[in-house]
Structures are given as structure tokens and as C-alpha cells.
Amino acid sequence: MHNKLTFVALIAGLLLLTFPSAAQSDQASKWADSVYQKLNTRERIGQMIMVAAYSGTKKQNDSLIRHYIKNKQIGGVIFMQGGPVRQARLTNEWQSSAQVPLLIAMDAEWGLGMRLDSVKNFPKQMQLGATQNPAFAYQIGASIAQQCKLLGVHINFGPVVDVNNNPNNPVINLRSYGEHKEEVARFSEAYIKGLQDNGVMACAKHFPGHGDTDADSHKELPVITKSKESLEAVELYPFARVIASGVQSIMVGHLQVPALEPNEKLPATLSPAIVSNLLKKEMHFKGLVITDALNMQGVANYYQPGEVDLKAFQAGNDILLFSQDPEKAINKIEVAVKENAALATALSNSVHKILMVKYQYGLTHLKKIDTIGLVKKLNSTTDKINSAIAHQAITDVKGNAKELLKNGEHIHLIYLHKAIDSTLEKSVSQNSKIKYHPKIELAAAAQIIDTATNPIVIAINGYSPYPNNNFGLSNDELNFLSSIQKNKNVCLAFIGNPYAIRFAPKANALLITYESNIYTETAFIDFLTKPFQNNSTLPITPIGFE
């Protein structure tokens, strides 16, 4: 293996960081064993199952979850869409009725706002990668941990450790720190440490790497065609790093990887070669192995509920996430365990591991979640952090924007695709340095470009964050960008996904904010008013750039 990817050399760090002290481990082990002995085989299998729960939307399924907790002894729930107070109340109710405390999870890569109404988002990972400062990733991890603890959440399914080296990736994209494996590893380590230092388990995903694909595993099974050597050199590198630095869980993706698993009917999630042999044995991962959601079409198109759970268990996964039919899953796994001693041992190992985690994260001394002032507490740090990151991330791609803008007494500002945020419109209109042109047509904008002597900034705002259908930009807008990109007096500012600058590769001056929101737009206006220096860099290479 490629320098063994530092696996063996860093195992000492893994053993020190992944688990608590010897005394704590002994106490956890005793508790886990005592609980395990009280459970029958079906209840032990139930501990591996984590089902989806909703505190809002039409999918709200309270009665079904109550049934699973009471009759199936499920080990945990992953909360999806809803509201924070409603989720807190459900968590309080369900924890009080569970025979074994529930492991509560959320898929909250950029904070609980990713799933809950009335909670503000933190930046996605690519914006963090642009800052070149992993301290921001640590700060985000710590802040999300604070949010999780306020809501009784023990595990956050983040960060994304995928190296996004495919510009057309429709699902990872901005969720990655970038295309450079070392930076992805560096930022992932910081985010994980921020979470785990503050009492919430992190989960690195999507093993063995979902970055080099143009398919979405929510809808189909992506195929990664790289050789094993290439995978070891790039995709597996960040996973090796975060394993060594102590990440406590890893999520396996629904990916077809022929170089690692020749059976095309076995995606990584269901492959013993990938889960048991590569991840657990070769890479020495000792923490929780979690499937990606078992309702995703990357596996659901090929295997029925229950059957997919069994195959995931046989592959070596510890937690079966988003199980569609716990009854069928328990039935099938129970039969397999009775017929196969090795699987019986695997069940014991997985359940003990889950129970140890429950002890480590304080589930034996649960406190009722306080809902008074909860929303305010959840949003207490977002504004300050988001503003700082937006200013540090904005990128002068070619180094010409600052020079162009600082020489202009007045700057023409034209918004394309979506108007400026309404909260900024008044201040921009009154700014003496900016000549703002609200709601201008493309033809009128072209005329200004032809006649103006002062710098002109075209802000392409609010376009789609993903590359499908040209990021949602119209043909007229694309033709306009193509026609003006060579003008030396024009700065194109993409208020959003940096991959969209593929439509203006010859632009003299380019600004990127990575996302479109009040924080990034404010940082952009501040840059126009008084161009500032930061250490940001473009963490990816868009199509048409070198």
C-alpha cells in the first residue's frame, strides 16, 4: 500500500485518541457488558439499528418511532427535518421511555440549520477551505458541538472527508474542503477535533471517497473507476489521517469501486472487502463503522429492506443507518447469527462497541433538554463566526480585483441573476464610492460597460450551488458573461459556487465568495468599498482554468 498511507506509523496516536482513559474504558466496559447481558438476540440486533425521525414536515413519524423504541429496542435515531423545540420535546419523551438510552444523531455538516427551521447555517466546507486557516474548522466543529449538546445530540455525521477532484460532482462539491488531499485532511482533522473536544462524536464520510464522481448516490450508484494505487494516493489519504488523529466513527458510502470490490452488485457499504478488510484490518480503524442511509437509491435500487440491512451487517458495519424496515432487518440478521458463529461474534463486538460509546458520551446520566430560550442559544455564535469566515474566504482569484477597485473613485455595481440582499440595498445605494444600478436589464448593463470609464463590477448572485443545468444560469446570462469577460475594466464577482467561474475563464478580475447569503454579500460590499488583503486561495480548479 502507498507508504501504508501512514496507517501503521500513526496507530499509536489512534489508540490514544479514539478511546477514553483506561479507568473510563473499564467502567464503560462493565456497563456495556451488564446491559448486553440483559438483552436477547433480537434486542441486541435492535441496538445496531438507527431510524430516521422527523420533528416536522409531512414525514413526521412520532408513533412509528415510539413503536420501534418500545418493541424493537432500536439503538438510536437520526433526526431529519423539523424544529428545534419540537425535536427537544420528542428527544425528552423517547429517552425517558427507552430501556437502553438512545444514541441521537444528526446529519449537520454545516450546523443544525441544515436540518432545522429557525436555526442559522454555518458555512459549508469549501468556504472554510478557502481561508487556508483550519482554526476556523475547529471553531465551526466546536460551535456545532455546542448546538448538538443543547439538543441532546451525541453524533454529528460530519465532516465530509472526500477530496472533490471532479468539478461536475453533483452531490459533494461545496461540502468538500477542496481538491487537495493534504488540505482536506488538515481541515477535517480540525473540524473533528472541534466536535470531539466538546463532547460530540464526529463521523468522517464517505469512505472510501465520493469526490471523483459525477453521480449522486442518493439517486443512483456512482462508479469510481480509479486503480487501487490512485485511490490510496488520493481518496484514502484523508481517511488515513483522520483515523490516526482519532475520529471515532466513519460512514461508508454507496459507491461502486471495482478496484476494491470486483462484484458490481456490492457497493462499498455492503462489501466485506471494503468495510472489514480495507477499513478495519488494513487501515486499523477501531471506531464505529456506519452505513450511509439505507434508503438511498445507491443501494435501495438493488436490495430490499431487511436484505440490505443483513448485507451491511455481514460487510462489517456497526450501525445500520436509516433502516427502512427494522422488523425485517432483525428477522434476517437473527437467522444469520444463529447459523453463523462468526456473525454471532460480530454482533457481540458491534453491540458492545455501541454501548461503550453510549457510556462515553454520557447516556447513562441523561438530563432533560431545556427548551427555554433554545433557539436563541442555538444561534448565539453564528453571526460573528460567519462574518469572520466570509471576510477571510472571499478570493481575488487572479490578484487583479483589488488593484482595479482601489483605483476607482466610483464603482459601477450591477447584480446579475438575483438582486442584492434587501437588507443591504439601502446602505449600498447611499455608499459614495458605489454607483448601484438596481434591476438593470442585460442590454442596459452592456451599454454601461461600453461607455463607463470607472471600474464595473458584475455580481453574479444567487445561482444554483450545483453544476446541473449550468448552475441555473440562463443562456442570455452566459452569453453576456462570455461577451464581457475580456474587458479590462470589468470585475466579475461570483457570489456563490466557485466552479461557476468556468463561464468566464478569460476574465481579467474575478472575485469568489463561495456562498450566497447576508454574510458573504456583506463581505463582498466591504471589499468593494475598501479592498482588503486576506490569505484566501481557490481550493479547487474550475473547468477552463489551470
Report whether pLDDT(199) > 70: yes
pLDDT value, residue 530: 92
Average pLDDT of 50-61?
Answer: 94
For residues 179 and 212, what is the distance between their CA atoms, to the nearest angstrom? 10
| Vertex 270: Cα angle to 267 and 271 (nearest 5) | 80
pLDDT, residue 173, reads 97
Is 481 within 8 Å of 506 (Cβ atoms)? no
pLDDT of residue 84: 98
> For residue 271, with 0-12 CB atoms within 10 Å meaning exposed, 13-18 middle and 19 or more buried, which class applies?
buried
Read out DSSP for 125-185?
HHHHHHHT-HHHHHHHHHHHHHHHHHTT--EE---B------TT-SSSGGGSS-S-HHHHH
pLDDT score at 19: 47
- As beta bridge partners, residue 490 has 456
Q: Are 463 and 496 in contact (CB under 8 A)?
A: yes
**Do residues 176 and 125 touch, judged by C-beta distance below 8 A?**
yes
pLDDT at 546 over 90: no
Q: Three-state SS across 91-120?
A: HHHHHHHCCCCCEEEECCCCCHHHCECCCC
**Cell (9 digits) for 75:** 439503538
319 pairs with which residues across the strands?
A: 290
- State the pLDDT at residue 408: 64
pLDDT band at 298 (very low <50, low <70, confident <90, very high): confident
Please report how many Cα atoms fall inside a 13 Å half-sphere around the Cα of residue 434, on the Cβ side.
24
pLDDT above 80 (res 234): yes
Cell of 112: 443544525
pLDDT band at 382 (very low <50, low <70, confident <90, very high): very high
Is-contact 75 50, C-beta < 8 A?
yes
Residues 506, 509, 510: CA angle, nearest 5 degrees: 90
For residue 326, which amino acid is it?
P
Distance CA 501, CA 478 (A): 11
**Assigned CATH for 394-529:** 3.40.50
Average pLDDT on 469-494 reads 97
pLDDT at 265: 87
CATH superfamily of 2-378: Glycoside hydrolase, family 3, N-terminal domain (3.20.20.300)
pLDDT the model gives residue 215: 87
On the question of pLDDT at 163 being above 70, the answer is yes
pLDDT of residue 14: 36
| For range 71-85, the mean pLDDT | 97
Q: Would you call 541 exposed, middle or buried from its count of C-beta atoms within 10 A (0-12, 13-18, 19+)?
A: middle
The answer to whether residue 4 scores a pLDDT higher than 70 is no
Mean pLDDT of the chain: 94
Tens digits of residue pLDDT in 306-319: 999 999 999 999 99
- Residue range 292-307: average pLDDT? 93
CA angle 262, 264, 269 (to 5 degrees): 90
Say how many C-beta atoms besides its own lie within 10 A of residue 452's C-beta.
16
Establish whether the linkage from the previous residue to 391 is cis, with ω within 30° of 0: no
Q: What is the mean pLDDT of residues 330-336?
A: 98
Please report which helix (H) or strand (E) contains residue 298, including its range: helix 297-300
Lowest mean pLDDT among 15-29, 165-179, 299-313, 321-335: 15-29
Q: CATH 3.40.50 spans which residues of the chain? A: 394-529
Ranges 5-9, 223-227, 333-337: which has the least confidence: 5-9
Q: What is the pLDDT of residue 409?
A: 75
- Banded pLDDT at 20 (limits 50, 70, 90): low
- Backbone φ, ψ for residue 437 (5° rounding): -115, 95
Query: Distance (Å, rounded) from C-alpha 448 to C-alpha 414?
Result: 10
Query: Peptide bond preceding 262: is omega within 30 degrees of 0, i.e. cis?
Result: no
Q: What is the mean pLDDT of residues 23-37?
A: 91
- Over residues 12-26, mean pLDDT: 55
Instruction: Identify the band that residue 2 occupies on the pLDDT scale cut at 50, 70 and 90.
Output: very low
pLDDT-above-70 percentage for the chain: 95
What pLDDT score was predicted for residue 419? 95
CATH 3.20.20.300 in the chain, residue ranges: 2-378
**Phi (first) and psi of residue 234, to 5 degrees:** -120, -70
At 536 the pLDDT is 97
Give this prediction's pTM: 0.95
Alpha-carbon gap, residue 150 to 381, rounded angstroms: 13
The lowest-confidence range among 11-15, 179-183, 205-209, 274-278 is 11-15
- Tell whether the model's pLDDT for residue 334 goes beyond 60: yes
